[in-house]
Amino acid sequence: MCKKLLIAAVALVVGLSVVKHTSLGSLLHVWWKDARASVEKQIPPEVRIKQLGVEIDKIDREIKKNLSVLAAKEVECQMLEEKVTAQRAGQTQLKADISAMEKLLDNPRTERVAFNGTTYRTPELARKLDSAVRMYTAHKVDLKGKEELLAKKKETLDQAHQYISKMRDEKERLRVDVARLETRVETLRLRQMEAKVEFDESQVGKCNELAGKIEQELRKAEVEAKLHEDFGYRTRAQIFDREPKTTEEVLKSARQALQDEDAPEKVAAGQK
């Protein structure tokens, strides 16, 4: 098994070497480049816009990640600033103590002097002054280094704030670009749809012509029916479609018809 794997690995290395050092390698590169370009051309704009939205979301994640780092750096800066402030106050107090001890030792009248509520012998106060001077000098160098470090940290934080603000502004601009691109694609699709939609206007004309003929025929039939009615002609449909008479109306019509028939006979009898 190991022998087969070794042979396969050697064959792969040899094949890659052949591809790399012969014209076949460049030919494959050309094919790959052309195939990639062909695939990219087939990607519709809607998909590209969605891809852009995904990349913009990555900017959001990057901003949030940097905000977490920035918060930690700001805490470090705040703590350093507190130390510097406290050390400055200590240096100010130490400087005042050095000045006071110097004045007491500059004009010694007695072997003992009072300093900050405590009585010292002159040599003891001198040793205390020497210790205070050495401490003040050492803390002065340390304080200067911390102040420089604090200034650099503040400058770095300001730059980070500006960078994040710029990233946020760019993200918002890109969001606007996405909305604008979506509107353009929608407009383009509407135009493409309008170009594909074709109406047969001759068919519309045929329908309008047929509707006109139907209108003309209906009007002619209505006028003809009105003329028949005006001149006393009724169609069989009008005769049979009339409303049925009541019994009284039928009896009245029958009596009227009998009276009309009897009238000529009575007239003829009177003449004889």
Q: What is the pLDDT of residues 62-113, one digit of tens each?
A: 898 888 889 999 999 999 999 999 999 999 999 999 999 888 888 766 788 8
Q: What is the mean pLDDT of the chain?
A: 78
Above pLDDT 90, what percent of the chain? 30
Q: What is the pLDDT of residue 251?
A: 73
Report pTM.
0.50
Q: What is the pLDDT of residues 171-193, one digit of tens each?
A: 999 999 999 989 988 888 888 77
Amino acid (1-letter code) at residue 97: D
272 band by pLDDT with thresholds 50, 70 and 90? very low
Q: What is the pLDDT of residue 217?
A: 84
Kindly indicate whether the domain formed by 48-181 is annotated with CATH number 3.30.360.10.
no
> Could you give the maximum distance between any two Cα atoms of the chain, in Å?
194
Evaluate if residue 246 carries a pLDDT over 50: yes
Q: What is the pLDDT of residues 26-46, one digit of tens each?
A: 665 566 565 555 655 678 888
Q: Helix H segments across the chain?
A: 2-21, 23-42, 45-106, 122-196, 201-230, 236-240, 247-271
The position carrying tokens 């070794």 is: 6
Q: Which long-range contacts (CB under 8 A, 24 or more apart) does 147-150 make?
A: 147/84, 149/80, 150/77, 150/80, 150/81, 150/84
245 band by pLDDT with thresholds 50, 70 and 90? low
Return the number of other C-beta atoms located less than 10 Å from residue 27's C-beta.
11
Q: Which residues pair with 112 in a beta bridge?
A: 121
Q: What is the pLDDT of residue 93?
A: 94
Q: What is the 3-state secondary structure (H, E, C) of 79-102?
A: HHHHHHHHHHHHHHHHHHHHHHHH
